[in-house]
Amino acid sequence: MNVLFLTHRLPYAPNRGDRLRAFHIIRMLRSQGATVDVLSLVHDREEEAQVDRMREELGVDATAVHVPRLRNYATGALALAGTQPLTHVLLDTPEWAQALRGVLQRREPDVVLAYCSSMARFAMEAPLVDYPLVVDLVDVDSQKWAALAETASQPKRWIFEREVRYLSRFERVLAEHACTTVVVNEREARALRLLAPNATVHVVPVGVDLDALTPTCLPVDAPRLVFCGVMDYAPNIEGVLWFVRDVWPLIRARRPETEFTIVGSNPTPAIRRLASRDSGITVTGHVDAVQNHLWNAALSVVPLVTARGVQTKVLEAVAAGLPAVVTSSVHEGLPEEIFAACRVADTPAAFAGSVLELLTISGAERRAIAGRADVHNLDWDSQLAPLYTFLVDAAGTRNSDAHEPSFAPAAMP
C-alpha cells in the first residue's frame, strides 16, 4: 500500500505533541510494510534541515515545502473580509503545487492520509480529490477556537469567532467527504459527530513512548515542579501565566524553597520574563529530550484553561513516574488509565492545595501514585493499530464505486 502523508509540520524530530503522533504513525505504517511519501510544510530552516535525518531514520521519501510566514500574515489580514478559514491562509504556500506534482510523478498513492484540518484542505483540491482520503483530525480545531473566543478580548474574540464559523463549515464538509476521519478521544468524536452527523468517525488515541520515559533513577524528594510544552502555543502560554500569577504565590508562601521549571521550545517574551532566581522559576527553552527534566522533578503541573484532545504531556509525565495536577479541561480529555495518577483542580486555591499536598509526601510515595496508572497498554503501536486498517479499507475503494469525490469549495454553505 502506498500512502501519501500530508503533514502541517515536519514529523521530525519527535519533540512536540503534533510531531510525536505523526512520527509514530509513520513508524507504524512502515512496520506494516506500507510505502510512505511524506509531503510536509516546514516553518523555518532549522526544521527543513531535519528532512534528511527523517528520511534515513524512518525509511520514507519526504518533501518539505516552506511556508512564507510574513506573506501569509499579510494575506490573512486581507482574507478577514472573506470566508476562507485563517487556518488555511496562514498555512499556505505557492510552492505546494509543484512539490505535489513531483511526489505524484514519483509514485501514485493508493490512499491519502491528511494530518489535521489544515492539510486536509489540500487533499480536497485537485488532483488529490480523486484519491481515497483518511483524515487524522486529531482535535476538532473549531472547538478550540470557540473555547479561546470565550476568554479573548476584542478584536481577537471577533477573529476567533470568525474562525469557528468558517472552519467548522469546512470540518463538516471534510468529514463527510473522507472515507474515515479519526480523532484522539471520545470528547472530540462527540463534537465531530454533532458537526458532521453523516461522517464515519473513529477514535485512534494518543500513545506514549514507555521505553524512553520509564525512569532509570531514584525518585526526587525535593519540591520541584515541571511543565512541558511548546511555549509559543497560546493555550500553554495562557495556562502557565495563570499558574505563575495566581497559583505560584500560594505555593511559595507555604513552601518558599519550591522550584518550577518550564520546559519547551520558543518561549515568548512573556514566558521568558518569568524566569528569575528569586522567583524559583526556570525557563529552559528548547531541549533535545524531556526525560531528564521529568525524572528530576517531584510532580507535573498542567494548568491549561483551554485544552482539546489529549494532553500528551500528562501521559509522558505519568510514564516518567510523576503524579500530575491538572485542570478539569485537561482531565476530560485523558484516557481513564491515567486518572489514578492525577489530581484535578480549577481554582488557584484548589490547584495550590493539590500541589502542596503532594509535596508533603516522599518521592517514593509520589512515584507509587504515578504507578497506579495503567500505562502499559498506551504504547504508540497499540494505540495507532486501528489506523492501518482504516487506510487499507480506504485504499480498497480506489477502483470501486465506493469513493465518489464530491467536494467543491462552492458546496460549503
- Per CATH, 2-207+380-405 and 210-371 having the same topology is answered yes
- Looking at residue 116, the DSSP 8-state letter turns out to be S
Q: How far apart are CA 412 and CA 84, in angstroms?
A: 10
pLDDT at residue 66 is higher than 50: yes
Q: How far apart are CA 395 and CA 373, in angstroms?
A: 37
Q: What is the mean pLDDT of the chain?
A: 92
Note the pLDDT of residue 13: 85
- Global confidence as pTM: 0.86
Do residues 192 and 143 touch, judged by C-beta distance below 8 A?
Answer: no
Across 23-37, 146-160, 297-311, the highest mean pLDDT is recorded for 23-37
Helix (H, G, I), strand (E, B) or coil at 58: helix
pLDDT at residue 405 is higher than 50: no
Q: What is the pLDDT of residues 23-60, one digit of tens each?
A: 999 999 999 999 999 999 999 888 889 999 999 999 99
Dig out the grid coordinates for 303 from the structure: 494548568
Dig out the grid coordinates for 314 from the structure: 500528562
- In terms of CATH architecture, what is 2-207+380-405? 3-Layer(aba) Sandwich (3.40)
Tell me the domain boundaries of the chain: 2-207+380-405, 210-371
Q: What is the pLDDT of residues 331-384, one digit of tens each?
A: 999 999 999 999 999 999 999 999 999 999 999 999 999 999 999 889 999 999
Q: How far apart are CA 275 and CA 292, in angstroms?
A: 20
291-296: long-range pairs with CB below 8 Å, 24+: 291/212, 291/213, 291/320, 293/226, 293/228, 293/261, 293/263, 294/213, 294/226, 294/228, 294/320, 294/321, 294/322, 295/215, 295/216, 295/217, 295/220, 295/320, 295/321, 296/220, 296/224, 296/226
Note the pLDDT of residue 306: 83
Residue bearing cell 521549571: 261
pLDDT band at residue 400, thresholds of 50, 70 and 90? low
CATH fold for domain 210-371: Rossmann fold (3.40.50)
Q: What is the pLDDT of residues 231-245, one digit of tens each?
A: 998 899 999 999 999
Residue bearing cell 516553518: 43
Cα 74 to Cα 68, 70, 91: the distances in Å are: 10, 6, 13
pLDDT band at residue 399, thresholds of 50, 70 and 90? low
pLDDT band at residue 274, thresholds of 50, 70 and 90? very high
Q: What is the pLDDT of residues 161-205, one digit of tens each?
A: 999 999 999 999 999 999 999 999 999 999 999 999 999 999 999
